C-alpha cells in the first residue's frame, strides 16, 4: 500500500466506527475501546476527541472526570484527563497518554482504521499506548462486575503531551495535585516496557537524560594559509576524545552504566578551501543514580576547560537536563505486577531501569511508581500493532493487580 495521505482531525475517511457497548459488561472487553481510541488521530498536541471517548467509558464505570487543559507561552495548548473513583486510601493511580507520534512512512494499512488481521490489532497507538489504556479500563470493568468497587481510590491520569515537549501534560498535572493536596500512594505507568514478549519486564526507575551542544569558536580563513586562521575542528575533536576516553561509570545496584553518545558533528562548511569559524557537536548522556544532571555538567565543563586551556578561541556549552534518574525500590507494587504477570504469562518479569525517559520521571515526585504495559517491539514504527492475546493478557494482569492491591 502507498503511504496514507494525512487526514484532517476527525476525518474517518469513510471508515466504519467500532461498535461500543457502553455498559460495564461491554467495557470488560478491551478491544472495542482500543479501536475507538486508535481511530482518533491524536498526534501531539491534537486530541481529536480521544479524551472524550475515554471519559465516556470511565463515567460509565462511575469515575468522576476532570479535564485539565494547560498552556504556556511558546508551547501548544494540551488537554489532559484525571478520573477518580473513591475518596479514601489506599489510592492506586494508572498513568498513560492518548497522544501518538506522527504516522511516518511505510504503512501497509490505514494507520487509523484500527484493523484486526489474523488476531492482531493494527494502528498508530495500538501498543503505545491506547491499547494499554483500554486494558486498564477493561480490567476495572471486570473487577466492578465481579467484586464491586474497591475499598479505597482508583484513578487514571491521562495526558495528551507525552510524545511531545512534555511541558503541559503530566508535569503540570503533578504540580497541580501537589498544590491541591491530592494524594496518590502508588502509580502504574502503562508504557509498553516488555521488549518482545508479555511478562518480560517491570520498570521501577529510569536513567536521567542530558542533552549537550558544544560549540568551539575559531577564526575563519583560507585553507592554504592555516597560520592566518584558527581552526576550531581539532580542538573540538580533542574535546570529544577526552569526553569519551573513559566510561562515566560502571553501573550501580539497579542501573546499567551511564552512556555518552555523540549524535552530531557539524561545521556548516560547504567549501573545500575554507577553514570554518566554528565547529559544533551534540551529544546525549543517559545517566544512572551515581550522577545528577548538575554533577555531570560540572564534570563536562572541567574536562572541556582542561582541553581548551592555553589554546586560542572560545568554547560554549549549552546543556539541558530532560530528566533526572530515579528509582522506586522494588516493593509491594512491583511485587504485585510480577506475581500477576507470572500467573498469566508463565514468566516472572525482571526488574529493570533500562530504556529512555517516560512521564514516570514526573510522577515519582508524588507517588511510588512502577511501569508495565504491552510489548514495545513495534512502537513508533509503521504497522504498529498489538496481538489480541496480549491485550487479553494485560487486562487480566491489571485486574489481578487491582484485586491484590485492594485485598487488604
pLDDT tens per residue across span 221-275: 999 999 999 999 999 999 999 999 999 999 999 999 999 999 999 999 999 999 9
pLDDT of residue 343: 98
CA proximity to 130, closest of 18, 248, 285, 243: 18
Q: How many residues does the chain have?
A: 408
pLDDT of residue 18: 65
Q: pLDDT for 148-169, tens place per residue?
A: 888 999 999 999 999 988 899 9
Give the pairing of strands 350-352 and 208-217: unpaired
Residues of the chain with pLDDT under 50: 1-11
- Helix 388-405 to helix 130-147 angle, to the nearest 10 degrees? 50
pLDDT of residue 14: 55
pLDDT of residue 4: 39
- What does the buried/exposed string (b/e) look like for 115-153 if buried means 16 or more CB atoms within 10 Å of the residue's CB? beeeebbbbbbbbbbbbbbbbbbbbbbbbbeeeeebebb
pLDDT of residue 12: 52
**What residue numbers does the annotated binding site cover?**
97, 128, 163, 191, 380
- What does the buried/exposed string (b/e) look like for 343-360 if buried means 16 or more CB atoms within 10 Å of the residue's CB? ebbeeebebbbebebbbb
Largest CA distance in the chain: 83
CA proximity to 196, closest of 388, 387, 404: 387
Q: List the grid coordinates of 358.
A: 517516560
pLDDT of residue 355: 84
Burial (CB count <10 Å: 0-12, 13-18, 19+), residue 328: buried
Of 99, 230, 324, 371, which is the active-site residue? 99
| pTM: predicted TM-score of the whole model, two decimal places | 0.86
Q: What are phi and psi of 215, to 5 degrees?
A: -125, 125
Give the pairing of strands 385-387 and 120-122: antiparallel
CA distances from 364 to 121, 174, 198 (A): 32, 9, 24
Helix (H, G, I), strand (E, B) or coil at 324: coil
Give residue 368's Cα distance to chain centre.
17
pLDDT of residue 113: 96
pLDDT of residue 9: 38
* Terminal-residue alpha carbon distance, the chain: 53
Our answer to whether residue 359 is catalytic in this structure is no
Identify the architecture of domain 24-206+325-405 in CATH. Answer: 3-Layer(aba) Sandwich (3.40)
Instruction: Return the CATH number of the domain spanning residue range 208-323.
Output: 3.30.70.360
Q: List the grid coordinates of 296.
A: 555531570
Of 48, 162, 289, 384, which is the active-site residue? 162
pLDDT of residue 1: 40
Q: List the grid coordinates of 150.
A: 474497591
Q: Where in the chain is the domain with CATH 3.40.630.10?
A: 24-206+325-405
pLDDT of residue 289: 94
Q: Which helix (H) or strand (E) holds 159?
A: strand 153-159
Q: Where in the chain is the domain with CATH 3.30.70.360?
A: 208-323
C-beta separation of 107 from 86 below 8 A: no
Q: Which residues contact 181 (CB under 8 A, 6 or more apart)?
A: none
pLDDT of residue 7: 36
Our answer to whether residue 99 is catalytic in this structure is yes
Q: Which residues contact 163 (CB under 8 A, 6 or more apart)?
A: 44, 97, 99, 100, 101
Amino acid at each position: 500500500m502507498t503511504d496514507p495521505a494525512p487526514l484532517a482531525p476527525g476525518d474517518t475517511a469513510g471508515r466504519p466506527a467500532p461498535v461500543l457497548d457502553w455498559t460495564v459488561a461491554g467495557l470488560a472487553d478491551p478491544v472495542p475501546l482500543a479501536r475507538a481510541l486508535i481511530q482518533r488521530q491524536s498526534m501531539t498536541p491534537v486530541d481529536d476527541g480521544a479524551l472524550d471517548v475515554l471519559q465516556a467509558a470511565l463515567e460509565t464505570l462511575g469515575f468522576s472526570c476532570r479535564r485539565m487543559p494547560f498552556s504556556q507561552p511558546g508551547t501548544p495548548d494540551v488537554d489532559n484527563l484525571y478520573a477518580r473513583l473513591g475518596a479514601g486510601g489506599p489510592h492506586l493511580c494508572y498513568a498513560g497518554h492518548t497522544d501518538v507520534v506522527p504516522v511516518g512512512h511505510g504503512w501497509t494499512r490505514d494507520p487509523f482504521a484500527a484493523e484486526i488481521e489474523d488476531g492482531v490489532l493494527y494502528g498508530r497507538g495500538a501498543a503505545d499506548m491506547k491499547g494499554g489504556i483500554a486494558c486498564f479500563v477493561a480490567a476495572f470493568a471486570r473487577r466492578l462486575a465481579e467484586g464491586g468497587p474497591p475499598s479505597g481510590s482508583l484513578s487514571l491520569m491521562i495526558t495528551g503531551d507525552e510524545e511531545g515537549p512534555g511541558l503541559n501534560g503530566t508535569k503540570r498535572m503533578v504540580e497541580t495535585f501537589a498544590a491541591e493536596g491530592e494524594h496518590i500512594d502508588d502509580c502504574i505507568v502503562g508504557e509498553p516496557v516488555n521488549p518482545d514478549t508479555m511478562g518480560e519486564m517491570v520498570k521501577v526507575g529510569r536513567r536521567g537524560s542530558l542533552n549537550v551542544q558544544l560549540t568551539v569558536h575559531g577564526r575563519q580563513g583560507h585553507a592554504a594559509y592555516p597560520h592566518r586562521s584558527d581552526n576550531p575542528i581539532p580542538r573540538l575533536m580533542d574535546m570529544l576524545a577526552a569526553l569519551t576516553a573513559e566510561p562515566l561509570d560502571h553501573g550501580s545496584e539497579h542501573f546499567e552504566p551511564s552512556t555518552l553518545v555523540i549524535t552530531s558533528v557539524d561545521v556548516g562548511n560547504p567549501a573545500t578551501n575554507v577553514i570554518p569559524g566554528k565547529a559544533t557537536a551534540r551529544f546525549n548522556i543517559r545517566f544512572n543514580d551515581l550522577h545528577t544532571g548538575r554533577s555531570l555538567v560540572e564534570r563536562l565543563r572541567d574536562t572541556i576547560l582542561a582541553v581548551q586551556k592555553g589554546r586560542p578561541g572560545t568554547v560554549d556549552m549549552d546543556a539541558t537536563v530532560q530528566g533526572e534518574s530515579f528509582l522506586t525500590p522494588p516493593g509491594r507494587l512491583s511485587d504485585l505486577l510480577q506475581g500477576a504477570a507470572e500467573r498469566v504469562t508463565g514468566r516472572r518479569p525482571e526488574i529493570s531501569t533500562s530504556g529512555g525517559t517516560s512521564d514516570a520521571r514526573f510522577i515519582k515526585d508524588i507517588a511510588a511508581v512502577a511501569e508495565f504495559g504491552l510489548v514495545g517491539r513495534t512502537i513508533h514504527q509503521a504497522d504498529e500493532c498489538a496481538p489480541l492475546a496480549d491485550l487479553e493478557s494485560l487486562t487480566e494482569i491489571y485486574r489481578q493487580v487491582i484485586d491484590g492491591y485492594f485485598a487488604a
